[in-house]
Structure 1
């Protein structure tokens, strides 16, 4: 396709033609109305003037008879201008005036008529057009008064000529402007198309160009760039997850195989085989927990869990999780306390929020032991703060250095101080994914001493308030 053909087929050029057509039709209608209204006003002015003259001449006839009327008409006929006068007898013979000839039958019909005529004072005898009125006088005399229409027609022609030129200029400028605008738009679209080709070829770092004008193309490019950044982050995360899975699962799978081979090679009785099988089952359960956590993270990040969201009480979830882990905390000598005095309504998935909070409590039990023999304490709170609901877990352990908190929420990341404890490094990652799914965030803060993890979620709008807003 040629460049011109490509230009003519663009939506921008077609829209320009549509707007140009609409504007041209409106301009033509406006000019036609102006020409028609001008013609009507001039005609009204002529009729008013002629009516006034006929009234005056009729009064002259009434006061002085035909002689006086002829005298007055003859005097007026000698004045230069476009006025027409004619006084005739019953038989149509002219007595006074400046009209040489009229179309046939004009004098026989009283009233207004547009007619062709010739003037007595015109040496060329050219034919003109006039608007005349014939008035019947007593004794059979007829009085004709009118105005030549040459000025009206000339003004009408001037308006039409101006209209034609205006339309021609509008069309030329409109088409030129259409080509200019379309070329600019097409240039930007071509640049976007070239970038998308590079992206489809695998260059996810490519971004659509932004002109900085803030128009709809800039807004589209901004949104697409944000989408591309999200896709690039997901692909990078997928690669990292794949690498981490391959790395972190290789060790337990190798242990499984080694134990099985060792049992086959060295076991001598049923008890040794049983011990090998129990060890293998424990290792398998740890692998299953790892895969379940990965699936839950993927479910949260993909947004599939939004279908099961309802209005729930986060305070009730906090009390339930606290009750679930209370015995485990007591066994480790940790005092676990829940502070959820009032309802904390959120709109979300109960299973995912419960699992996220349970992960935080589980981490606090593993790593939140008191420092230097101090009493260990974990506090689980659920409270409202403005338009947010905060689910927090605080401990009195060693905490996480500020420099490591960003890494701590990544998949399979286990900090140095946590490697002595069992785990997959997915607990905080799952909690962060669940918080983002619900429009919230996971924050890691100092507890002085220890760590404070906070899941901040939007407060659910009460149903009556939602109905009132919709109404």
Structure 2
């Protein structure tokens, strides 16, 4: 009993049974319709013929009387083509005058309508099923016309056997089809389940196998694999970020602790304490900036802020941000130019401005004096490109893909409080917009680009 219940809890078994039941019911309904339609058609044709014969024989009686009617009935009973036709003519008292039936059925009142009964034929003296109708003639005589229903009953038996065989065939076919379909479906689900189990066990590199059919299962597997790629990327970023936080914040926290300890040293002068306090505040400000940027990256990666999207004039935004950074560029002896095309897209204006600011910060940090930093907005069929190019030393090709990772900086000394989060935040904002971040060596210099969808 427990084993049977376990089988019934199996989704494959339930789907096979459901497919079998639905297919069988549908086949049974179609066959029942065929059976009923065939019987009604045959019965209707028989009634039409019998009714027409009754009318014809009644007319014969009107024209030629009882003797003419008797001759017409005897002529029809002798016709080999009418071997299933049954006739009976009696006087008002039941004496047989003509026909091929032995006697008038006692339970039939002339004119009572269509009847189904068993009667004895005169030539064979056998009981046969009869479908008939009757009338009473003006002289009181009784006339019954019908058809031998033996062939029809035989047809019913053959039809019922055919229906039963068809149902059995439909049952077997539905069982086979259900098994095949569920095997196909559950084999693909098994691939997904196995891959999910391996991922849960810690192997984030596993992917759902594609069978190359291009069907819905392959498309779903491809979508899930893209999701797993993104999850693996985010988990990798999380691990890198966690390790980097532990590594990169240790030094400023240690320095902060030293400054605080120095403030409590009674042997230090007031001037020295003021210097220590200023340095401690600088370390606190640096830590707050790091945590603020980490929070912004997390919000962008989670897609928070999409509800605030509005049409953004990217060209105007680029000019405004460049104008804000122009004094800093002049102070560094660097030229700052803007080249734009008309470009509007749905986006978060504040975050897009933040992303461009981070690109400019990075470019101005490494641009040599006397060179130029160029901000450019370009338009293509379905994307907009917001780029910043400097004429600095560039980046080794092997490090280009690491630039957008949190806490990655190619400045060993991390001068200027650079925490390596600016480009990571810009990349996260680009992803929130549905785009991506790219960096390439422009020879000379580095070009960082945000490639954003136009809609």
TM-score, scaled relative to structure 2: 0.86
Structure 1 pair 7–207 and aligned structure 2 pair: CA distance change class (3 A): farther
Corresponding residue for 1:367?
366
* Structure 2, gaps ≥5 residues long: none
Are the aligned partners of 1:90 and 1:140 in contact in 2 as well (CA < 8 Å)? yes
CA distance in 1 between partners of 2:347 and 2:235 (Å): 27
Are the aligned partners of 1:110 and 1:136 in contact in 2 as well (CA < 8 Å)? no
CA distance in 2 between partners of 1:382 and 1:186 (Å): 50
**Partner-residue secondary structure (3-state), 1:415:** coil
Corresponding residue for 2:281?
281
Corresponding residue for 1:330?
330
Structure 1 pair 100–451 and aligned structure 2 pair: CA distance change class (3 A): same
Are the aligned partners of 2:340 and 2:376 in contact in 1 as well (CA < 8 Å)? yes
**Partner-residue secondary structure (3-state), 1:140:** coil
Corresponding residue for 2:153?
153
1:191-218: CA deviation from partner (whole Å, max 9, x where unpaired): 5445434433434344445555555555
Corresponding residue for 1:200?
200
CA distance in 2 between partners of 1:349 and 1:238 (Å): 24
Corresponding residue for 1:358?
357
Corresponding residue for 1:314?
314
Corresponding residue for 1:463?
none
Corresponding position: 1:399 with 2:394: yes
Find 1:415's aligned residue among 385, 410, 415: 410
Structure 1 pair 142–276 and aligned structure 2 pair: CA distance change class (3 A): closer
Structure 1 pair 379–226 and aligned structure 2 pair: CA distance change class (3 A): closer
Please show how residues 18-417 of structure 1 align to structure 2 within 5 Å: 18-58=18-58, 60-61=60-61, 64-80=64-80, 81-106=83-108, 108-109=110-111, 112-122=114-124, 125-182=125-182, 185-186=185-186, 188-189=188-189, 192-210=192-210, 218-258=218-258, 268-340=268-340, 342=342, 344-369=343-368, 375-415=370-410
CA distance in 2 between partners of 1:50 and 1:264 (Å): 125
Structure 1 pair 243–108 and aligned structure 2 pair: CA distance change class (3 A): closer
Shift of 1:315: 3.0
**Partner-residue secondary structure (3-state), 1:100:** coil
Are the aligned partners of 2:90 and 2:104 in contact in 1 as well (CA < 8 Å)? no
**Partner-residue secondary structure (3-state), 1:400:** coil
Shift of 1:367: 0.7
CA distance in 1 between partners of 2:195 and 2:62 (Å): 94
Are the aligned partners of 2:19 and 2:178 in contact in 1 as well (CA < 8 Å)? no
Corresponding residue for 2:423?
428
Shift of 1:414: 1.9
CA distance in 2 between partners of 1:386 and 1:353 (Å): 21
Shift of 1:332: 1.2
Corresponding position: 1:14 with 2:14: yes
CA distance in 2 between partners of 1:453 and 1:172 (Å): 65
CA distance in 2 between partners of 1:136 and 1:199 (Å): 91
**Partner-residue secondary structure (3-state), 2:305:** helix
Structure 1 pair 32–166 and aligned structure 2 pair: CA distance change class (3 A): same
Corresponding residue for 1:465?
none
How many residue pairs get aligned? The number is 453
**Partner-residue secondary structure (3-state), 1:280:** helix
CA distance in 2 between partners of 1:263 and 1:85 (Å): 131
Are the aligned partners of 2:335 and 2:372 in contact in 1 as well (CA < 8 Å)? yes
Corresponding residue for 1:469?
none
CA distance in 1 between partners of 2:383 and 2:179 (Å): 53
Q: Which moved more, 1:182-191 or 1:381-390?
A: 182-191
CA distance in 2 between partners of 1:390 and 1:325 (Å): 20
Are the aligned partners of 2:86 and 2:146 in contact in 1 as well (CA < 8 Å)? yes
* Structure 1, gaps ≥5 residues long: 461-471
Corresponding residue for 1:468?
none
Q: Which moved more, 1:160-169 or 1:279-288?
A: 279-288
**Partner-residue secondary structure (3-state), 1:109:** coil
Shift of 1:429: 1.4
CA distance in 1 between partners of 2:260 and 2:94 (Å): 138
TM-score, scaled relative to structure 1: 0.83
Are the aligned partners of 2:441 and 2:447 in contact in 1 as well (CA < 8 Å)? yes
CA distance in 2 between partners of 1:138 and 1:284 (Å): 125
Shift of 1:8: 2.6
Q: Which moved more, 1:344-353 or 1:251-260?
A: 251-260
Q: Which moved more, 1:139-148 or 1:82-91?
A: 139-148
1:31-90: CA deviation from partner (whole Å, max 9, x where unpaired): 222222222222233234334444554555556544444344334324451111222223
Structure 1 pair 198–4 and aligned structure 2 pair: CA distance change class (3 A): farther
Are the aligned partners of 1:84 and 1:97 in contact in 2 as well (CA < 8 Å)? yes
Are the aligned partners of 1:290 and 1:424 in contact in 2 as well (CA < 8 Å)? yes
Shift of 1:348: 2.3
